[in-house]
């Protein structure tokens, strides 16, 4: 049997209405602090290179998870804010099942000169286009408006 019902009415049972409100303040971390301080001022990304296996992490890390060693400050490098689409999808409904006004293209982008990919939103006029291997660059907020958070990367195009 295929279950197609999208909503049921739990209020038809006797119930108590609660919430799990809790607010958070997430610290950037040692590596994150340096990465976002750089992103606030520059149009490039910072990455960190493991001194042992030479793997380049972006976003950067203070340690290599494979070699399990520190990545010292001097092993950090500046890389261009661009890359290549490795894989992608197009979302057409939101988490509540409602149709989106415009399809949203989400991609995993291999960042140039690194061994890492990051999740990004792709701005495109043609969401049906095959994006495999597409070269994209990050569009950042105007420098004056940057906050030093991931939101400073508006999208890739």
Partner 1 sequence: MREVAVIGGGMTLFRRRLLETGKELSYLATKMAMEEAGIEKQDIDMVVLGSAPDAFDGIHIKGDNLVDGCAAAGKPYVRVFNGGGTGVFAPIAGWWHVASGVADVALVVCEEKMGSCYPHPQTAFRHIWDPILDRPLNPNLVWLFAMEMNRYMTAHDIKKEDIALVAVKNKRNAVGHPCAQLADPNITVEDVLNSEMMAWPVQRLDISPPSDGASALIYCSKDKARQFTDEPVWVAGTGWTIDSTMWTNRDLYFPQYVANAAKMAYKMAGISNPFKEIDIAEPYDPFDYKELHHMEGLLLCDKGQAPILTREGVTQRDGDLPVCPSGGLLGVGNPIAATMGQKVCELYWQLTGKAGKRQVPGDPRVGVGQAWGDIMQMGTVIVLRK
Contacts to partner 1 by CB under 8 A: 16, 18, 20-33, 61-63, 65-68, 70
Residue closer to partner 1 by CB (options 59, 122) is 59
> Judging by DSSP bridges, how do beta strands 135-140 and 82-93 pair with one another?
antiparallel
Residue 29 or 72 having the CB closest to partner 1: 29
How buried is 40 (Cβ within 10 angstroms: 0-12 exposed, 13-18 middle, 19+ buried)?
middle
If the CB atoms of residues 3 and 24 are measured against partner 1, the closer one turns out to be 24
| Shortest distance, position 114 Cβ to partner 1, whole Å | 16
CB 154 within 8 A of CB 136: no
β partners of residue 87: 108
Q: In the complex, what is the shortest distance from the CB of residue 118 to partner 1, in angstroms, rounded to a whole number?
A: 15
């Amino acid at each position: 049997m295929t279950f197609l019902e999208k909503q049921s009415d739990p209020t038809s049972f006797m119930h108590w209405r609660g919430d799990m409100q809790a607010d958070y303040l997430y610290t950037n971390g040692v590596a994150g602090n340096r990465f976002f301080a750089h992103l606030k001022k520059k149009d490039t990304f910072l990455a960190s290179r493991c001194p042992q296996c030479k793997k380049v992490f972006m976003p950067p890390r203070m340690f290599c998870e494979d070699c399990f060693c520190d990545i010292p400050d001097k092993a950090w490098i500046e890389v261009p804010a661009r890359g290549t689409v490795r894989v992608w999808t197009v979302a057409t409904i939101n988490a509540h099942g409602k149709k989106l006004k415009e399809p949203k293209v989400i991609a995993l982008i291999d960042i140039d000169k690194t061994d890492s990919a990051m999740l990004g939103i792709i701005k495109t006029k043609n969401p049906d286009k095959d994006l495999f291997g597409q070269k994209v660059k990050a569009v950042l907020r105007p420098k004056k408006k940057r906050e030093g958070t991931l939101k400073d990367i508006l999208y890739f195009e």
